[in-house]
Amino acid sequence: RKTSGYFRPSLGKEENRMLLLTRREGENIMIGDAIQFQVLSVSEGA
């Protein structure tokens, strides 16, 4: 599913920080619903 509605060519500081945080956890994340899936899987894993 495409999330072009949410995509912006130049990310703001908040988006960059979020990408950095998810990267630090060793997860490949796409902006959009994938972030929710990530949070859910982390919660289940814990």
Rounded to 10 deg, the angle between the 33-45 and 13-24 helix axes is 30
- Determine, yes or no, domain membership for 39: yes
Sign of the torsion formed by the C-alpha atoms of 23, 37, 43 and 12: positive
Total domains present in the chain: 1
Please list, in sequence order, all residues whose beta carbon lies within 8 angstroms of the beta carbon of residue 27, skipping any fewer than 6 positions away: 38
- Determine, yes or no, domain membership for 1: no
Reported pTM: 0.20
Per the structure, the complete domain to which residue 34 belongs is given by 13-45
CB 33 within 8 A of CB 6: no
- Determine, yes or no, domain membership for 41: yes
Residue 25 has pLDDT above 60, yes or no: no
- Determine, yes or no, domain membership for 26: yes
**Residue 46, SS3 per DSSP:** coil
Quick one: average pLDDT of 10-14? 64
